[in-house]
Amino acid sequence: MFQEIDADKMLKNIRTLLKDFFFYGIGNSAAKASGIILLPLYLEYISTEEFGLLALYETVFVVMLTITSVGTKSGLARWYNDVNNPDEKKALFFSVMTFNVFSSFLGIICISIILYNSSLFNSLNSSLVIVWFCLSSLFKLLFDVPTVLLRLQQKSKTITNIQIINIIITLCLTYYFLGVLNDGFIGIFKAQAIANAISFLIVLPIIIKNSIWSLKLKMLVELIQYGYPLAISNVLTTGLTLSDRYFIEHYQSLTDVGSYSMAYKISNLLQFIVVASFITSYTYNYYKSMNDKGSKAFLVTSFNYFIFLMTILGLGIIFFSREAIYILSSGDATFYDAIPVIPVLILGLIFSGIRQVFVLPITKAKKTKIISLVMVLTGLINIGLNFIVIPYYGKVGAALTTLISQLFAVIWFLIALDKLKANIYNVRKIALALFVGMVYCVLFFFIPLINIYIDVLIKISLLFMCVLTLYVLGFFERDELEKMLQAWHKWKNISQLKSNISQLKK
């Protein structure tokens, strides 16, 4: 299929991708594990309504993170490897960092005014909560641009170390403010603000080392012109993903928001462990190798296994969702109504992962306005469906509208790729993996509960049968299977685990 392939180069690219995926996976898994640890603490020291309000605060930060940079971070990712002169790279980073410091302060001022004048955010907490939330958000915004730089420099281990330090400090301080001082809801944001401030101090030397005092206004304008359509699309993507909480609060209650948030946190295991880790490593590897003719085989093969991993892990999360809710809620049966929501959210996350990959060839062609147009229409569809569906179907309806919106975006971007003659991906394999996964998901819900031991055995058997079905139907290539077998023989030996990890660091 790819005659121009350089086998050695492809193996090197795959090794780099796997290394970055491994370390990003550790960081993201640690972040998710911290959420699992904190959740029972939250539920013990704050009310269900405050837990729902916490989910709304989280959406506010995600919107700020997306909009304050005006797309300059996307421009930095796209242009950084095109600049050969080291001083020019430092000037580019300095310009983007300076702009983001200014825009972050401006964004925090604007959002604080909005929150202070919102009856919803002032209904359950004091105004000091908003102050601590804004401080936490500001420091997190400030160390986000250096994180993009480290990803471009493929320093995934450094990013992971910083992330783990942030997580440990947040965990300790959250326990201190909630469990020891009994500060309640405000203690959550105190812990986050202090942890984020320390993390910013850690990356400050990295900022200084990679900067020279040279503000490239012309280049900055070019980055904004390139990136602002992406910023718009990212805001709308965030909106279509997170606005459902506000609709649920409006048409149902904050308790329902808390239940939906529980389903979202569990299904988001897929996002943290696979989607975010892969997209991060894949994106920066894509930009680095996008002009290499021999990179197509690497891009297609790695994407196929991304689909496979999302399908299998997604099924695993669905199969064990009841057990996850039981553990996270300390046996609170009121959260069990979140179980039917999880399969819909999982499928939406899979389409979201596919969409993020399909966008990359369009950004390579600098057709960012296409992305913005698609996401504007997708956001309008999502909001329109929320008005229609959520009043009648509540949490399940909210998950379904997000799924439909993500599917719409995937189809439209696929059409755009065909028009740009940039579609290198195997649509048949995507459809095959999703179809087989959905069949086994439906089959699982028809199997009655017996007892915990038999249930676990059935779930593991279904996962194995899903992999076997994909093999029989030709999802895997022969040479890919041989490489998987070699990898299994290499990593199955626990005594060599330290040596294998050390090789990834090189």
Q: 469 pLDDT band (50/70/90 cuts)?
A: very high
pLDDT at residue 475 tops 80: yes
Residue at 318: amino acid letter: I
The residue with greater pLDDT, 415 or 259, is: 415
pLDDT for res 11: 56
Of 46-55, 123-132, 323-332, 381-390, the range with the highest mean pLDDT is 381-390
Q: Which of 468, 428, 459 is nearest to 441 (CA)?
A: 459
The pair of three-digit structure tokens given for residue 373, joined into one six-digit string: 């147009």
Higher-pLDDT residue of 269, 176: 176
Work out the average pLDDT over 134-158: 84
Q: How confident is the model at residue 370, as a pLDDT?
A: 82
- Would you give the DSSP letter of residue 448? P
DSSP 3-state assignment of 253?
A: coil
Residue 125 is predicted with a pLDDT of 58
pLDDT of residue 238: 64
- Whether the CB-CB separation of 95 and 216 falls below 8 Å is answered with yes
Q: Note the pLDDT tens digit of each residue in 206-215.
A: 889 988 888 7
- Cα–Cα distances (Å) from 109 to 320, 353, 415, in that order, read 43, 33, 41
The token pair at 21 is: 């995926």
pLDDT tens, 337-355? 778 888 999 999 999 899 8
- Select, from the ranges 53-67, 241-255, 344-358, 467-481, the one with the highest average predicted confidence (pLDDT): 344-358
> Is the per-residue pLDDT at 503 higher than 60?
no
> HEC states along 470-500?
HHHCCCCCHHHHHHHHHHHHHHCCHHHHHHH
pLDDT of residue 242: 60
Instruction: Please give the average per-residue pLDDT across 12-26, as a whole number.
Output: 64
Per-residue pLDDT tens over the stretch 274-297 = 887 788 778 777 777 666 666 677
pLDDT band at 1 (very low <50, low <70, confident <90, very high): very low
* Residue 2 scores a pLDDT above 50: no
Nearest to residue 279, comparing CAs of 311, 246, 302? 302
pLDDT at 3: 42
Torsion angles phi and psi, residue 197, rounded to 5: -65, -45
330 versus 108: the higher-pLDDT residue is 108
Give pLDDT, residue 211. 87
pLDDT tens digits for 392-417?
Answer: 877 888 888 888 988 998 998 899 88
436 has a pLDDT exceeding 90: yes
Of all residues in the chain, the percent with pLDDT exceeding 90 is: 10
Q: What is the dihedral of CA 486, 491, 493, 499, to 10 degrees?
A: 120
Domain boundaries, given as residue ranges, for the chain: 46-242
> How high is the pLDDT of residue 4?
44
State the pLDDT confidence band at 21, using cuts at 50, 70 and 90.
low
* pLDDT score recorded for residue 253: 67
Please tell me the least confidently modeled range out of 83-92, 309-318, 459-468: 83-92
Hey, what long-range contacts does 85-93 have (CB within 8 A, 24 or more apart)?
Answer: 87/212, 87/214, 89/210, 90/210, 90/211, 90/212, 90/214, 91/212, 91/214, 91/215, 91/216, 91/219, 92/216, 92/219, 93/145, 93/149, 93/210, 93/211
Q: What is the pLDDT of residue 482?
A: 61
